[in-house]
Structure 1
Amino acid sequence: MTPYDAAHSQGSNVLTDGFGRTVTYLRVSVTDRCDLRCVYCMSEHMTFLPKAEVLTLEELDRIASAFVGLGVKKLRITGGEPLVRKNVMGFIEGLSRHLRSGALQELTLTTNGTQLEQFARPLAEAGVRRINVSLDTLKPELFRRLTRGGEIARVLAGIDAAQAAGLKVKINAVALKDDNAAELPELIRWAHGRGLAVTLIETMPMGEIDADRTDQYLSLSALRAELESFWTLRELPLTTGGPARYVEVAETGGQLGFITPLSHNFCEACNRVRLTCTGTLHTCLGREDAADLRAVLRGGGSASDLVDAIRMAVDTKPKGHDFHIERTLPPAVARHMSTTGG
């Protein structure tokens, strides 16, 4: 199949929702599968999607390229764990043509790091310049428990390989009240000592899991106040196209971000949408909205039909999410983060 050219998109190359926000950032999930089973992300015995429901890499390329033609400047490849998808490097290398043309400003990736030792250099050669690595603890036994069997040594080797390949690495850590809250300052010191930025994330109420998230929820507003009791946090006028708010830790010289979907809503400037590996477009992480782009592709839709479907979905993007985390309420959305795309 000939790669879809972003220039084939029809009409204006600006994608604006009903509230006047311009969408410039697409997160593309290439698989719902993962080689870890993080306790806050998925159930221990997950039922993964049948292959027939998952878009081919060519179909994912066609949709992602249509978004580039509509003015999206940043593509983030996600999963599940994206690097477990067969031939994913061919997909990423194909998308890099939009970097070379200048239509795309950034092609990046979120990963759990287990496969990075193998893929770090090919990613750099494909034009990826920075990646996010999910890492909630430096303690091997706690890592094994949180991931249900993962080996932290593989992740650390992957981070080493990524830095050696010249990739800029940011650590994403989910703040968990009972498991890693006390360790987070040390995790931050370790990362900053290696020249790695860190972003802390509140646990999000997505999908039924085996535990009650209210037991683990930690407000980052409270955590930040604690950090400020022994560190100097300087506000940074920085945005990377996501929801994080950034500070510099004066004592370490490193960058620290906070993603606070519950304690501090970040929807007013939302510029991103998510495409699942099944071709479902979600314009809000915390809503059950959905547009079926797979039906357009497999129903013989033209490039113009695909663009029309994307525009219609983005036009109805909600003003904000419905996240809540209360013991008496079900998750805000039924789908798991691994299905949505992290």
Structure 2
Amino acid sequence: MLAGVFKAVIDRSSIDPKLVEDISVGTVLAPGGGATEFRAAALVAGFSESTAVKGLNRQCSSGLQAVVDIANAIKSGMIEVGIGAGVESMTSQYGPGAVTEFSELLESHPESANCKVPMGVLSEQMAKDRKITRAVQDAFAASSYQKAVKAQKAGLFNEEIVPLEVKWTDPKTNEEKTVTVKADDGIRDGITAESLGKIRPAFAKDGSIHAGNASQISDGAAAVLLMKRSTAERLGQKIIGKYVAASVVGVKPLLMGIGPWKAIPVALEKAGITKEDVDIYEINEAFASQCVWCINELGLPLEKINPKGGAIAFGHPLGCTGSRQVSTLLTELKRTNKKIGVTSMCVGTGMGMAAVWVAE
């Protein structure tokens, strides 16, 4: 997947691969040490051996952190051209073994021990404590599906997605086939709040969170090419957007879902704008419960939130989401002739991140 998006960056931008000095890749469940496979993916995609590659992990914000790291490296003069990317294969890497046992030292500190509480369990408790009902969650989730279905049928994701040819084994026949993936297959038509209301809770018998109002287990990769405006103009590169500012904040581990609520105002302040100045907010839908709470507490109008749906409808490949959101946001801002956008997400272990973008 990562090699595929790297190749697409070269093909779509016509950038000379030798000009790309550094690539930062966000991922959470990295196989093979992460950076080893990422470097290999860059080389097979056509980048020069002179192009450096690193992997990083800030949980669900890894993809955004990768983009921001490259932007900061450019701003500081360390590099001129770089790529911020994200990738995750949750179908092959996600599971109970993803979180290892803690040492006695880490277990002895209450907040430290809370860092390994499963996301679904702590989100269930947060929904209960903050009085986010199942009905509210299901309505929000149904809306995400409905927006995504409408956008997919209208071809609004086509500009963002790079068709990828992969080998696939049919689980029924065990036959290996070559297929071309060109659309998110998690998007389901016909989803309503009523149909979601029939799904069994996942984390507590009397719980409100289930498979239909939480983000899906998905695979994905995304990449963003960055450089200064002067460099882009000199190289004849099409400018589609501008990175303005970003924030990263910490919250209590058991309240990781409130991360966007704390991170977004900080990013807006750094950018010198108000929440009303923002045309579109892409806030990751890790769980409907936490997303709804953040939106309500920030006082944001629902029509500005995830206009093409979100992770509930098409998935949250952990390391990919932060870089994918940049593409989703800038594409939609351009299509709707709007200007300012924010991407944000809650972050496992109790953090939040947000960034401000301007479309060209």
Question: How high is the TM-score relative to the length of structure 1?
Answer: 0.25
Q: Which has the higher helix share?
A: 2
